């Protein structure tokens, strides 16, 4: 249910100059990765945020995004208008389906039946993507009403359906892979009855057969050469920055020169104040062989 909230994004200034509290009703569903740094929130591989009340636009919206090291990406917002024909689809699905809007606008034609029919005939004559003239559905979430939400991972992105009807699709983003999701979180103004997981992938949802896991021998550093090297690269890193080191191991440390005996790259890592972090660091150093 909605609750009062004071926040710069959801409050407005009254005529008297005071701050007006807005009523907020929303929930968040997230796929989360491993926490990279202490004191920071874990990465959001997928952030799904339906806002029934309290959005700055004044309308019910669905916002999706990704976040790493407290830095949010560019949000995908669905506000009841269907995605344009020019917008890229996700596995053949539109990013945003349409629903009834409070202002009467459904698809940019004023929301009237005549406007919808006219747009449908024009699109058909021009050979654009076929759009079924279906019932104008309301916003998929309502306060106090039960719903069944389904999250599915496709080849190009995530697909979310509510009560069996497709609502939105969110394309995969670089650096946010499904295999990095180690946690599932649901929070906000919602009572969860049950969570059911099925068909969880054991490999990357692609045609590649090899699993690219972090602790694999392919990311190990080559042994130190017995002869002088042409270039030595030292990389400063903190003890609990495992994710950052893995990003380096998987990217430019795979270059031919770095893998050869001409160039050597090593991480310079200081000990951490927490013993458990140092224990994990010791295991990492013994396995990869690239930490000084």
Residues 146 and 272 grouped into a single domain: no
pLDDT at site 209: 37
Where in the sequence is the domain holding 147, given as residue range(s)? 3-99+137-188
Residues 144 and 261 grouped into a single domain: no
The average pLDDT across 269-280 equals 86
Whole-number Å distance between alpha carbons of 37 and 277: 11
Residues 177 and 255 grouped into a single domain: no
Q: Is residue 248 part of a domain?
A: yes
Q: Is residue 95 part of a domain?
A: yes
**Predicted confidence band at 115 (pLDDT cuts at 50, 70, 90)?**
low
Whole-number Å distance between alpha carbons of 30 and 68: 13
Pairwise pLDDT comparison (180 vs 235), residue with the higher score: 235
Residues 170 and 65 grouped into a single domain: yes
Which tokens hold the place of 142? 């309502």
pTM of the model: 0.61
pLDDT at site 47: 97
Residues 275 and 143 grouped into a single domain: no
CATH assignment of the domain containing 145: 2.60.120.200
Which of these ranges, 12-21, 49-58, 210-219, has the smallest mean pLDDT?
12-21
Query: What is the phi/psi pair of residue 114, to 5°?
Result: -65, -40
Residues 60 and 170 grouped into a single domain: yes
Residues 159 and 264 grouped into a single domain: no
pLDDT at site 27: 95
Q: Per-residue pLDDT tens for 166-200?
A: 999 999 998 888 877 888 999 999 999 988 887 66
pLDDT at site 109: 46
Q: Is residue 27 part of a domain?
A: yes
Report the domain count for the chain: 2
Residues 153 and 277 grouped into a single domain: no
Q: In Å, what is the CA distance from 237 to each residue of 117, 165, 244, 245, 291?
A: 61, 47, 8, 8, 10
pLDDT at site 119: 61
Q: In Å, what is the CA distance from 118 to each residue of 35, 121, 123?
A: 51, 5, 9
Q: Per-residue pLDDT tens for 243-264?
A: 778 888 888 888 888 888 788 9
Residues 148 and 262 grouped into a single domain: no
Q: Is residue 145 part of a domain?
A: yes
pLDDT at site 50: 96
pLDDT at site 282: 92
Query: What is the phi/psi pair of residue 45, to 5°?
Result: -65, -35
Residues 90 and 15 grouped into a single domain: yes
Q: Is residue 195 part of a domain?
A: no
pLDDT at site 133: 47
The residue among 181, 149, 174 whose CA lies nearest residue 45 is: 181
pLDDT at site 142: 93
pLDDT at site 118: 63
Q: Does pLDDT of 66 surpass 90?
A: yes
The average pLDDT across 114-134 equals 55
């Amino acid at each position: 249910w909605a609750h009062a909230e004071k926040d710069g994004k959801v409050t407005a200034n009254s005529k008297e100059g005071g701050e007006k509290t807005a009523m907020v009703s929303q929930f968040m569903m997230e796929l989360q990765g491993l926490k990279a740094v202490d004191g920071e929130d874990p990465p959001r591989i997928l952030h799904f945020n339906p806002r029934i009340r309290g959005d700055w636009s004044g309308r019910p919206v669905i916002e999706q995004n990704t976040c790493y090291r407290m830095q949010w990406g560019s949000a995908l917002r669905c506000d009841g208008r269907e995605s344009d024909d020019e917008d890229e689809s996700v596995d053949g699905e539109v990013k945003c389906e349409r629903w009834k809007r409070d202002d009467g606008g459904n698809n940019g034609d004023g929301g009237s039946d005549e406007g919808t029919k006219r747009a449908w005939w024009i699109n058909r004559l021009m050979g654009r993507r076929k759009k079924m003239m279906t019932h104008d559905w309301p916003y998929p979430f309502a306060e106090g009403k039960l719903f069944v939400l389904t999250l599915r991972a496709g080849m190009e992105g995530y697909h979310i359906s509510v009560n069996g009807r497709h609502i939105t699709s969110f394309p995969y983003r670089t650096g946010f892979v499904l295999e990095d999701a180690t946690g599932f979180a649901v929070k906000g103004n919602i009572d969860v009855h049950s969570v059911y997981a099925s068909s969880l992938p054991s490999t990357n949802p692609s045609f590649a057969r090899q699993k690219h896991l972090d602790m694999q021998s392919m990311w190990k550093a080559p042994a130190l050469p017995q002869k002088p090297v042409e270039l030595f690269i030292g990389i400063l890193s903190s003890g609990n920055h495992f994710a950052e080191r893995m990003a380096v191991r998987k990217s430019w440390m795979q270059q031919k020169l770095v893998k050869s005996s001409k160039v050597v790259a090593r991480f310079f890592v200081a000990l951490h104040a927490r013993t458990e972090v140092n224990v994990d660091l010791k295991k990492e150093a013994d396995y990869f062989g690239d930490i000084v």
